[in-house]
């Protein structure tokens, strides 16, 4: 994949498709230490300049501490933290208890942000985001432990689902008190972005729809 294939330069999810080939991108020379107005960028959902700095960062430990220090509600950064956690502690336990649960939680946060947008084409956007990070995790796992990630999944599926549900509920509960990003970030991934007719719900309705999502997911987890 190449950045030249992205039709919408504001679409963070399509930009993330470039992650496997980030070394070929024209990334900044400096990493996260040179990032300015981080909280403002997060609130506005402007993830691409943040991702560029993350991908340019050479110190894995500094990156992980920085990602942990941010509000834990931003889908792309939750997924980036999943990779950083494994880079710091490349074990099966990290995969089961931390990395896969964080990626799954990132998917649910993406779905939640989609509730602020009137665009049915966004239904699969969470899968588009998560697939890239799961593939990256698989590559790192195989490189570190010399066998594919898929070999540990069946016997640990129940544990993974347990930890994923716990992490997701924790993060969705945070979303009720933290300032969420503008849903325009995920709207840029929908078909309406290409027509110039992005429709965001008014703030009151958007907040209500996103809160309803938390209730829906919480109840579904209790039943399953």
Q: Specify the pTM.
A: 0.94
Q: At what angle do helices 125-145 and 100-114 cross, to 10 degrees?
A: 170
* pLDDT tens digit sequence for 115-150: 999 999 999 999 999 999 999 999 999 999 999 999
The residue with tokens 């970030």 is 185
* pLDDT tens digit sequence for 158-208: 999 999 999 999 999 999 999 999 999 999 999 888 888 899 999 999 999
CA distances to 91, 107, 199, 200, 202 from 206, rounded to whole Å, are 39, 18, 11, 8, 6
- Token digits of residue 35: 């990032």
pLDDT given at position 210: 98
* pLDDT tens digit sequence for 14-72: 999 989 888 778 888 889 999 999 999 999 999 999 999 999 999 999 999 999 999 99
pLDDT given at position 7: 62
Handedness of CA 56, 47, 121, 178 (dihedral sign): positive
Average pLDDT over residues 7-13: 87
Closest CA to 182 of 127, 124, 116, 128: 116
Closest CA to 133 of 90, 189, 92, 77: 77
């Amino acid at each position: 994949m190449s950045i030249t294939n992205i039709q919408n330069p504001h679409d963070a999810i399509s930009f993330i498709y470039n992650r496997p080939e980030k070394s070929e991108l024209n990334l900044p020379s400096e990493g996260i230490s040179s990032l300015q107005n981080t909280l403002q960028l997060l609130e506005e959902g402007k993830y691409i300049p943040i991702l560029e700095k993350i991908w340019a960062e050479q110190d894995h430990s500094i990156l992980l501490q920085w990602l942990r220090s941010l509000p834990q509600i931003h889908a792309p950064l939750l997924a980036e933290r999943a990779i950083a956690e494994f880079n710091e502690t490349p074990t099966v336990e990290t995969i089961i208890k931390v990395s896969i649960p964080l990626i799954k939680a990132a998917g649910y946060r993406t779905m939640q942000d989609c509730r602020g947008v009137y665009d049915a084409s966004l239904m699969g956007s969470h899968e588009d985001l998560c697939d890239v990070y799961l593939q990256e995790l698989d590559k790192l796992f195989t490189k570190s432990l010399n066998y594919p990630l898929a070999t540990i999944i069946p016997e640990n599926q129940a544990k993974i689902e347990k930890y994923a549900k716990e992490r997701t509920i924790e993060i969705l509960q945070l979303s009720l008190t933290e300032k969420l990003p503008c849903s325009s970030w995920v709207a840029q991934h929908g078909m309406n972005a290409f027509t110039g007719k992005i429709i965001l719900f008014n703030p009151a309705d958007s907040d209500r729809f996103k809160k309803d999502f938390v209730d829906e997911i919480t109840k579904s987890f209790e039943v399953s």
